[in-house]
Each structure stands twice: as C-alpha cells, then as structure tokens.
Amino acid sequence: MRDRKSDTTHRRAAERKIGRPLQPGEVVHHVDEDKANNNAPNLDVTPRSVHTAEHNRGRGLSKLRRALRAYREGRKAY
C-alpha cells in the first residue's frame, strides 16, 4: 500500500505550479513517468479522460521506457 503523504506530494506541487487547487476530475501526470520526480516542469495537470487516453495510446512505449530505465539502473524490468 502506498504512503498517503507521497500520494499527495505531486498534487500539492502541481497546485503550486498552476496557482490554484486541482478541480475534481483533474489528475497530475509525471512527464518523464518517474513518480519520484515532483519538480514543477515534470508535472502536467490534465483531465482524467485525457490522461487515461494518453497512457493507453502510449502503453507499449511506456513499457519500453520503463524497461530501458531499469536496464540502465542495473535491475530487472519485469
């Protein structure tokens, strides 16, 4: 189970970036897909439907990126 504090850190950082609270239905997307990277340039606020569609469209590419990152870090991808 995830730690709730870490679940909200990216949301708070995104709210600071856009200067307002997130609206219902808005989600924060990590551009580089690294959930630990909560720097403002790496965070995009999008509607949930757009976020889901983008991840579904790029599913194969995302999987490849994760595998490459794991390989570079010397760990197993799967």
Q: Let me know if residue 9 belongs to a domain.
A: yes
Number of domains comprising the chain: 1
Q: Let me know if residue 58 belongs to a domain.
A: yes
Q: Let me know if residue 21 belongs to a domain.
A: yes
62: containing domain: 4-72
Q: Let me know if residue 77 belongs to a domain.
A: no
Kindly state the helix (H) or strand (E) to which residue 64 belongs, with its residue range. Answer: helix 59-72
The one-character DSSP state at 23 is P
What percent of the chain clears pLDDT 90, i.e. is strictly above it? 33
Any bridge partners for residue 45, and if so which?
A: 28
Residue whose structure tokens are 């990590």: 30
Confidence of residue 63 (pLDDT cuts 50, 70, 90): low
- Whether residue 11 is predicted with pLDDT greater than 80 in this model: the reply is yes
In this prediction, residues 55-74 reach a mean pLDDT of: 68
